[in-house]
Amino acid sequence: MSHETKNSMASSTLISDTEPWKDLKGHVEEIKKTHLRDLMNDSTRCKSMIVEFDGILLDYSRQRIYQDTMEKLFRLAEAAHLKQKIDKMFSGEHINITENRSVLHVALRAPRDKVICSDGKNVVPDVWKVLDKISEFAERVRSGSWVGATGKALKDVISVGIGGSFLGPLFVHTALQTDPEGIECARGRQLRFLANVDPVDVARSLTGLNPETTLVVVVSKTFTTAETMLNARTLREWISTALGPQAVAKHMVAVSTNLTLVEKFGIDPNNAFAFWDWVGGRYSVCSAVGVLPLSLQYGFSVVQKFLKGAASIDDHFHLTPFEKNIPVLLGLLSVWNVSFLGYPARVSMESNGKGVSIDGVPLPFEAGEIDFGEPGTNGQHSFYQLIHQGRVIPCDFIGVVKSQQPVYLKGEMVSNHDELMSNFFAQPDALAYGKVVYCTFLFLILH
């Protein structure tokens, strides 16, 4: 980056021009001389790299860092004004410069009495208005007081949406599907997601479903998203062919901001659930996008626990000093991995880590990541060999202390979950001591 270019964009200083950045650059050579084995042998170091909050234990001792690397990273965070930026987010400033808007997904799970303002207006009451409406609607559908065109209760739901309107809700559904309370609350009901326009996916999502007992949720902010609207029209056709065009109002609802287009489509605008400009797609799972389909499947009170968990980590992120702040620690370690050590594997969702600064200046260093992973021991049977043989890929291992579905087989030494967990503990050690790979533990203690 030449200084001429920079001067033309007066307000922008690249983080890579700061002293803390240069200090970290110099630090890389030092750390490259040290083997992880030796770092792991320093118990004071290792103990300082464990952080716990609300049932989550983070152990980042297997990262390629000294204790003073963290100090340097905290200084970098200071140079980047990270604390001020976090405060700006929570106070509703327009931190999304490209779209000139606030970034307030944290308001989606704030308690009723909290005040979070966007453009001078407290948005929390609006959030709760929609949550209350969802809670009431979900209860009517689940209790059978809202019925389909032929008088039958609607027990199956297809949620049509793409990107953030699909992935986040699917993740949460996948987790709740095996949770004992989730199972109990979802008894007799099905939730499916349709995202891809491939007609095979449409067929798959409809297999075994009866239009008489199916409710379709169409999720599109603008109600113009091409893939979603094509899939929505396909399902509308499926319903009206079977039950007549007037059935659409009974069998389809919307999550959207454009009531005009919702009505034009044939959906009663009273059955549209709003969300707002300040909700980015990637963060929309806590809005009606996720809360509506998940509440239809599990009931609102189960989903509310999920929202409370999110609110808890929001507070932690907002108020905890960086030394004990799990999201900040993970973020700084990512910067260390990608921009200093040059390990590029890991993209967090779609839009982060592009190749330019917030002011549009091209970055003279790598900032994006590619993420991939596999559940449980499946990864061991696919790509782990490559890592054990020396391909450097930083990784996180996420384990849960207590299984949702414990299995103890007669004659086995340990429970199935303990078998899984011994792999969980063995792999990071094998990677740390044997071959050159860096990883963290994220440990969820679920009560």
Give the residues lining the site for ligand NAG (CB under 6 A): 37-38, 41, 60, 63, 94, 96-100, 119, 224, 257-258, 260-261, 280-281, 330, 333-334, 337-338, 343, 346, 351, 358, 369, 394-396, 440
Report CA-CA distances (Å) from 34 to 23, 64, 166. Answer: 18, 9, 43
**Rounded to the nearest whole angstrom, what is the least distance from the CB of residue 413 to ligand NAG in the complex?**
29
Strand partners, 214: 156
**Rounded to the nearest whole angstrom, what is the least distance from the CB of residue 346 to ligand NAG in the complex?**
4
**Rounded to the nearest whole angstrom, what is the least distance from the CB of residue 329 to ligand NAG in the complex?**
7
**Rounded to the nearest whole angstrom, what is the least distance from the CB of residue 15 to ligand NAG in the complex?**
15
Residue placing its CB nearer to ligand NAG in the complex, 162 or 261 = 261
Residue placing its CB nearer to ligand NAG in the complex, 238 or 276 = 276
Query: Which of 221, 227, 218, 163 lies closest to 198, judged by CA?
Result: 227
DSSP-derived secondary structure for 314-349: HHHHHHS-GGG-HHHHHHHHHHIIIIII-------T
Residue placing its CB nearer to ligand NAG in the complex, 55 or 331 = 331
**Cα 293–chain centre separation:** 17
Residue partners of 365: CB distance under 8 A and separation at least 6: 16, 339
H or E element: which one contains 219? Answer: strand 214-219
**Rounded to the nearest whole angstrom, what is the least distance from the CB of residue 349 to ligand NAG in the complex?**
9
Whether residue 253 contacts residue 273, with contact meaning beta carbons closer than 8 Å, is answered with yes
**Rounded to the nearest whole angstrom, what is the least distance from the CB of residue 356 to ligand NAG in the complex?**
9
Residue placing its CB nearer to ligand NAG in the complex, 50 or 409 = 50
Which stretches within 341-392 are classed as H helix? 384-388
Specify the amino acid at residue 95. I
Residue placing its CB nearer to ligand NAG in the complex, 281 or 399 = 281
**Rounded to the nearest whole angstrom, what is the least distance from the CB of residue 58 to ligand NAG in the complex?**
8
Q: Is 375 helix (H, G, I), strand (E, B) or coil?
A: coil
Whether residue 108 contacts residue 117, with contact meaning beta carbons closer than 8 Å, is answered with no
Residue placing its CB nearer to ligand NAG in the complex, 38 or 132 = 38
Whether residue 280 contacts residue 94, with contact meaning beta carbons closer than 8 Å, is answered with no
**Rounded to the nearest whole angstrom, what is the least distance from the CB of residue 414 to ligand NAG in the complex?**
28
Residue placing its CB nearer to ligand NAG in the complex, 309 or 331 = 331
Return the sign of the alpha-carbon dihedral for residues 345, 346, 351, 353. Answer: negative
Residue placing its CB nearer to ligand NAG in the complex, 214 or 334 = 334
Q: In what order do the strands lie in the sheet with 252-255?
A: 190-194, 156-160, 214-219, 252-255, 272-273
